[in-house]
Amino acid sequence: MDKAAIIRALLASLREEVERAASAAERTRNDAVHEEARPENDKDTRALEQTYLARGQAQRVVDLEEACKRVAFMEVRDFGPNDPIDLSALIRVESDADQSRWYLLAPAGGGRSIEHEGTTIDVLTPQAPLGRALAGRLYGDDLELKLGARQRELSIVEVR
């Protein structure tokens, strides 16, 4: 697997989301200052509410741009069998249900899935429960992860 291509795909996904969020923020800002948004009486708060929404959407754009920078400037390393899992690790995990999944540990973009060469790679951040559980572990380690009421047994079968 080409780790650099996977990271480029993650970055492209984040940049697309920046564009969508920026467009939504601009539309909301324009709606807030539009003539039809002017209050009809002292109880009419439509324009004020749209202004708050536009401010929140603008902050989302800033947060996503920061996420893009964190991924773009992440040090990409190759991991050997004796290297503890850290940012930029590509990890294959098998579960007690005989399921195998690939994960990329990244500073941002958690919750996304990247398709690469017919394989789905899920993006984890160190703040996610599974990301926390994997960080610092080694190839061959077994771990138990409690998610809600469910206990899962996982094995790290590959780290790149």
Domain residue ranges of the chain, discontinuous segments joined by +: 3-72, 90-159
DSSP 160: -
DSSP 98: S
pTM greater than 0.75? yes
Rounded to 5 degrees, what are φ and ψ at 116?
-145, 120
Q: What confidence tens digit (pLDDT) does each residue in 27-53 have?
A: 988 887 777 767 677 776 777 788 899
Question: Rounded to whole angstroms, how far apart are CA atoms 118 and 30?
Answer: 42
Q: The domain 90-159: what is its CATH number? A: 3.10.50.30
pLDDT value of residue 25: 94
Q: What confidence tens digit (pLDDT) does each residue in 44-86 have?
A: 677 778 889 989 999 999 999 999 999 999 999 999 989 999 9
What percentage of the chain reaches a pLDDT higher than 70?
98
Q: Which two tokens stand for residue 12?
A: 């492209």
Question: Rounded to whole angstroms, how far apart are CA atoms 27 and 3?
Answer: 36
Asked if residue 115 lies in contact with residue 13, where contact means CB atoms within 8 angstroms, the answer is: no
